[in-house]
C-alpha cells in the first residue's frame, strides 16, 4: 500500500490539551497530486494548510477560533488505521494526538 492510499480517509482524533480533550474529525484526500484536508470539531470546520507527507509522517497546519483562537501545527505518524503524534500551538506545550481511521460504510 502506498502512502497515498494509507493516509487518505476520515480519521477520528483525540487531542489531549492543557484545557481538556478535543475530538475533531480529520478528512485527508488527494487532489491533483497533492494531499488536502479539513478538520471538523462541533460547528467549526477548517481547511488544513501546508499539508506534507514525509514517509509515514503527515504534517499540517490549521487555524481555529474555538475554544480560543490558535494556529496549530500537527506532526503525526500513520501506521495502518492508527495515527499518533503531536499538535503544537505557539509557545504552549505540545499536545498528544491519537487517531483511528473511520471505517468506510
pLDDT at 3: 47
Judge contact between 29 and 38, C-beta under 8 A.
Answer: no
Give the mean model confidence (pLDDT) for residues 52-60.
93
Confidence of residue 2 (pLDDT cuts 50, 70, 90): very low
Closest CA to 99 of 6, 11, 9: 11
Closest CA to 35 of 45, 49, 19, 21: 49
Give the mean model confidence (pLDDT) for residues 83-98.
95
pLDDT at 88: 96
Judge contact between 35 and 48, C-beta under 8 A.
Answer: no
For the domain 3-99, what is the CATH superfamily, name and number?
A: Calycin beta-barrel core domain (2.40.128.20)
Cis peptide before 67 (omega within 30 of 0): yes
Instruction: Tell me the DSSP string of 16-34.
Output: EETTEEE--EEEEEEETTE
What predicted TM-score, i.e. pTM, was given to this entire model?
Answer: 0.90
Give the mean model confidence (pLDDT) for residues 56-72.
90
Amino acid at each position: 500500500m502506498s502512502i497515498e492510499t494509507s493516509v487518505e480517509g476520515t480519521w477520528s482524533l483525540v487531542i489531549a490539551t492543557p484545557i481538556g480533550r478535543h475530538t475533531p474529525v480529520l478528512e485527508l484526500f488527494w487532489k491533483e497530486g497533492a494531499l488536502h484536508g479539513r478538520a471538523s470539531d462541533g460547528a467549526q470546520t477548517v481547511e488544513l494548510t501546508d499539508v506534507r507527507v514525509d514517509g509515514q509522517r503527515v504534517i499540517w497546519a490549521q487555524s481555529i477560533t474555538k475554544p480560543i483562537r490558535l494556529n496549530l501545527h500537527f506532526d503525526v505518524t500513520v501506521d495502518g488505521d492508527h495515527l499518533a503524534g503531536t499538535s503544537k500551538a505557539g509557545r504552549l506545550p505540545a499536545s498528544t494526538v491519537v487517531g483511528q481511521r473511520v471505517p468506510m460504510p
